[in-house]
Every structure is written in structure tokens, then in C-alpha cells.
Amino acid sequence: MACETLLLFGATGDLARRMLLPSLYALHADGLIKDCLQIVGTARSELDDAGWQDFAKKALEEFLPADRKNGDLLATFLERLKYQPLDASKPDGFPALAEKIGDTSGGIAIFLSTAPSLFEPTIAGLQKAGLAGDNVRIGLEKPLGTDLDSSREINDAVAAAFPEERTFRIDHYLGKETVQNLLALRFANMMFEPLWNANGIDHVQITVSETVGLEGRVGFYDGAGALRDMVQNHMLQLLSLVAMEPPADLNATAVRDEKVKVLRSLRKIDSDSAATHTVIGQYGAGASKGEAVPGYVDELGKPSDTETFVAIKAHVDNWRWQGVPFYLRTGKRLPNRQSEIFIQFKKVPHSIFAKRGGRLTANKLVIRLQPEEYIRLLVMAKEPGLDREGITLREVPLDLSLTSAFAGTRRRIAYERLLLDLIEGDPTLFVRRDEVEAQWEWVDAIRAGWAANGMTPKQYGAGSWGPSAAIALTERDGVSWHD
């Protein structure tokens, strides 16, 4: 019986070097992919098999952890690799790619990491070369458009060859271990679900902050900005996992059905509310990690109104979350690199400790996704003592460090899980078309609201937490950002 092929477009790009090749090597080293699986790479670079194998070897030497390097395993992994140069914009090159792949009866899993402008000609080329049959799945790396219309155009082009059940839209945040643990935390523990609603939760904060600036992404980022680069995909996916109803089962249809209900329940932010519910900023010169860094326009080399920071006050209009604000914040050149979900519970309805001097603080739950991964519940406890001068209560953390709690278990990076799921055909952690379109509808309304109100980014110093208006966004509600 023929074995499957994994076909990587963009095989000489930065994503392949840093993430895809190390992930595939890890799956190979742990025996999680079949011995006969061949990995075919393609890109414009004029390489042969040996040239791409050398490229992969150098990438693995640079990006693999020291404890994962093994000369024998590396040699057998490199034997899997084949390469075919291809200009995806020219359909006449695809028959040679098909010839390189050879027997396709075992099926093909395609990972497409190219410019969105190449999606349509790539799909057409795959069809023409017989590489889009019923046994072929395609994984699409973002960006998938710049607004709802362009997203639909891309999805229509893909759907012409690949029906929804064979289309895997990638959001690498969904492959992170802590994101998976969010589902376990909510739906495997009785203590949280009765409080996971407007009766128990005061507000939710989701922060994805970066310390870097443009870092070589000039061409893409200046046409996208923080809202389209981070909020439209990663942050709305995190919000939907926090806010979703319990699915009937842990399968692709049930989980994604519940996520899309949340996305469709997001209250629209438009021309009437954009100025009061959103803040946009652009970093100026400042300091990052103790070093002076230039402002965005200096890095870019020209004037720009692209936002590098956005803060949003969002609402999910359904019974569970009525009246609970969701504060979203993301930006570049911020003080720390972190991704976290912060749940602020409500205060107890009556304090029995007040007359004895005990001051209560409402419970908090911190789910940190990166750089370290942990779940921390902050609870009230009494300080030891005889309490003759009053009771002293203090907030103490109950920590679940995933690194230490599962010290004997190998940690997986997101692309290991996603590539394996693509190869095996499990769509649970991939984004369905109706999710993408619901996300774009909400984001497009915000952008239209910015335009209607003539909003332009407020400058903030590199190394700060964004414009002062972002602080005011929460302080008006008596809330402070969790830094």
C-alpha cells in the first residue's frame, strides 16, 4: 500500500526553518509519523534534494534544543526529504512537482505557506497536475485575506478544489498546550463551570504583547496592523474558547459549532462606539530590553497610519456573558513578551472579616500561554498569628506549572500537534470557514468605525504599555490591566 506525502509550500522560508522542519523532525524522532511518509518541499529557490536536505540540516542544528539532537535520527529524517523548485504563479511548473511526488494513491497533505496572492494560481496548478483529488488535504497558513471580501475570495478559490472537510485553516495558537488545557480546566473540573458566567466573573482580559518591532516583516505588517495581524485570528480564537458553551463532545464539529456561536454573539463595534471602545497606537522611539530603539515610522522609512497597538472593550451578547466586558490588548514594542488570559472573578457578596480588619480581594485566574506556561489561581488566605489586633488576609497563589507538573512528559510546540493532525486528518484544532468570516465581519466593522471617526494611532514610547488612553479604557470601569 502506498504511503502518504506531506507537501510543504514555502519550504525555504523562515517558518519552515524555525518551526516546520524542527516539528517534523520531532515527530520523526518520536516515531509518530510512518516510516514511509515522504516530505516534499517546494519553493522558488533553485535547489535539488541534496540542497534542501543541507538547508534542513542547518536549520535543525540552529533551532533544535540540544537534548533533541541525534546524529542517527537526523540522518534518517533527512532521507525523507525531497525538493522540487516551483514558481507557484506559473501553472506549467506543477506537472514536474507531480512527477517528483510520484504515486499519490496513499494521499497528500499539503501545507500552504505562501503569499495570499499565490493561493488562487497554486490551487489551479494543483488541480491541473492532478494533486487535488479526494485523498488530498490542504492546510492554509495565515494571512487569509485582509477583510471579509478578500477572505471570501480566497476561500472560494480553495473551495473550488478542496471542500470544507479537506480544508485545514491554521491558527498556531490553537496548537499550544496551555490552550488545550483551557478546555480541560473548564470542562474537566466541576469547580469552575458554575462560576464561569456573568454571575461569577467580573471581567476578562486577554493580552498578547511583543517586545519586537517590525523584525523583517515590513512588507506584510504595514498593510495589516495589529488588529488584522493578531486580533482577527489569535485573540478572537482565545476569546471564543474562554466564552464558548460546553460542547457535546470533543470533536471538530461540536467544538467549532460552539466557537462560532460566540463569534456571532460579539457586539458590533461601529462608528457609534469605535471611539469609546477601542484605542489604537503606534510606537515611537524608546527603549527595549535596555537598548534604545527607533520608532515605527523610522524603521519603516516612511509615514504611516498603521496601528502597532490596539486595545478593545468587547462584549458577548448572550445569557452567559451579559454585562461582562472582555478587554483585549496587543501590540509591538511593549515591555514584556507574554500571552495570557486573565479572569477576574466577582467579590464575595458579604465579608464576615470586615469588622476584624480583614480586607478581601476578589479571586483571579491567570492562564499564561507564553513565554512560560502556567495556570495560577489567586485565592484569599489568613496570615498565621493570634489575630489579637485583627485578622490579616492575604492573596496567595495556587500554581499549576505545566513544566514542573508534567516534568517527565516531552513538551510539544504548536506546529508539532498541528502538522500531525493535518497528516492524520483531524480538523478539531483548525478554523472553519464560518469562524473566519464571523471574525472578519467583527473586525471590518471596527476598521470602518475608525475611518468614520477619523481615528489615527496615538503615539506611545517603545517599552511602554501603549497609549495612556488604553489605561483610561479600563479605568473608566474601575479596572486595571493585569501587567
pLDDT (tens digit per residue) in 379-430: 878 778 777 677 877 888 888 766 666 666 667 788 999 999 999 999 998 9
Is residue 151 in a domain? no
Looking at the structure, do residues 189 and 278 belong to the same domain, yes or no? yes
Q: State the virtual CA torsion across 29, 30, 31, 34 in degrees, nearest 10.
A: -70
Is residue 480 in a domain? no
Q: Which of 28, 203, 234, 277 does the annotation list as catalytic? A: 234
Task: Give the pLDDT confidence score for residue 71 in this predicted structure.
Answer: 83
Looking at the structure, do residues 300 and 346 belong to the same domain, yes or no? yes
Is residue 26 in a domain? yes
Task: Give the pLDDT confidence score for residue 273 in this predicted structure.
Answer: 96
Has 234 been annotated as catalytic? yes
483 is in an annotated binding site: no
The CATH number of the domain where 70 resides is what? 3.40.50.720
Is residue 167 in a domain? no
Mean pLDDT value of segment 165-192: 88
Domain end marker among 121, 141, 161 = 141
The CATH number of the domain where 392 resides is what? 3.30.360.10
Structural domain harbouring 192: 174-475
What global pTM score does this model have? Answer: 0.91
Looking at the structure, do residues 76 and 188 belong to the same domain, yes or no? no
Is residue 482 in a domain? no
Residue 1, pLDDT above cutoff 60: no
Query: Poorest-confidence range of 155-169, 181-195, 349-363?
Result: 349-363
172 is in an annotated binding site: yes
Read off the pLDDT of residues 44-101 as tens digits, 9 standing for 90 and up. Answer: 999 999 999 999 999 999 998 888 888 889 999 999 999 999 999 988 999 999 999 9
Alpha-carbon distances of 337 from 160, 289, 313, 369, rounded to whole Å: 40, 11, 21, 11
387 is in an annotated binding site: no
Looking at the structure, do residues 24 and 106 belong to the same domain, yes or no? yes
Contacts of 364 (CB under 8 A, 6+ apart): 342, 343, 344, 345, 377, 378, 482
Looking at the structure, do residues 316 and 189 belong to the same domain, yes or no? yes
Looking at the structure, do residues 136 and 218 belong to the same domain, yes or no? no
Taking alpha carbons only, the member of 150, 22, 124, 122 closest to residue 140 is 122
Looking at the structure, do residues 58 and 184 belong to the same domain, yes or no? no
Domain end marker among 125, 141, 157 = 141
Is residue 62 in a domain? yes
- Cβ proximity of 172 and 181 under 8 Å: no
Looking at the structure, do residues 179 and 327 belong to the same domain, yes or no? yes
Read off the pLDDT of residues 345-360 as tens digits, 9 standing for 90 and up. Answer: 999 888 777 777 677 7
313 is in an annotated binding site: no
Domain end marker among 141, 157, 183 = 141
Number of domains within the chain: 2
Mean pLDDT value of segment 253-280: 96
Residue 176, pLDDT above cutoff 90: no
142 is in an annotated binding site: yes
Looking at the structure, do residues 194 and 130 belong to the same domain, yes or no? no
Looking at the structure, do residues 217 and 336 belong to the same domain, yes or no? yes
Is residue 443 in a domain? yes
Is residue 33 in a domain? yes
Alpha-carbon distances of 210 from 71, 401, 406, 417, 460, rounded to whole Å: 35, 22, 27, 24, 14
268 is in an annotated binding site: no
Looking at the structure, do residues 376 and 231 belong to the same domain, yes or no? yes
130 is in an annotated binding site: no
Looking at the structure, do residues 202 and 318 belong to the same domain, yes or no? yes
Q: State the virtual CA torsion across 178, 176, 132, 126 in degrees, nearest 10.
A: 160
